Amino acid sequence: MASPKEKSEDDAQIFTQKLGLSYADLRRKARISQVNVAAMIALLEGNSECSQSYLSKFEHGRYIATQKRMELLCDVIGIPPELLYMEAMVRDVPLTIAELRIIRNMRELILRRFVPATLPPEVLAIAHRDGPNKVPRPEEPTMEVLDQEVS
């Protein structure tokens, strides 16, 4: 039987993976490539520490971002961090139709109260410089797909 500390570490690793996978889904929905997100972050931070490799590892749960980096990651794809955290919490959780409706309402409330970051024009120019169609679609259903099934 796992000790409380081991269970806590396992839970943290699972959440880190869900956070990364949820970010990847939301990034794809925004139709921005990993390369372009990394370039935008590097420009905003004034360095080149954020690479496509870092972003890939983050999206696969091998890295956890600092709070500041997490906010920038969300800013460049145009979402509030609260939405990312909520999506990660409900990821892979079997939900009833009523619960799915509650999640949809929470998502709408978060987005209604969200004030997008004002990014410099040179950062925004990077977002779709390779064209929006270069980003592959997610293979697994997202909460948006589940919401359509509920409606």
In sequence order, what DSSP letters do the residues of 40-72 get, joined into one string? HHHHHHTSS---HHHHHHHHTTS----HHHHHH
What is residue 138's DSSP assignment? P
E strand or H helix that includes residue 6: helix 4-30
Inter-helix orientation angle 143-150/97-113, to 10°: 120
Give the model's pLDDT for residue 133.
45
- Residue ranges of domains in the chain: 4-150
Q: Which two tokens stand for residue 81?
A: 């961090």
Q: Please report how many Cα atoms fall inside a 13 Å half-sphere around the Cα of residue 35, on the Cβ side.
A: 8
Q: Please report how many Cα atoms fall inside a 13 Å half-sphere around the Cα of residue 8, on the Cβ side.
A: 3
Counting as low any pLDDT under 50, the low residues of the chain are: 133-142, 145-146, 149-151
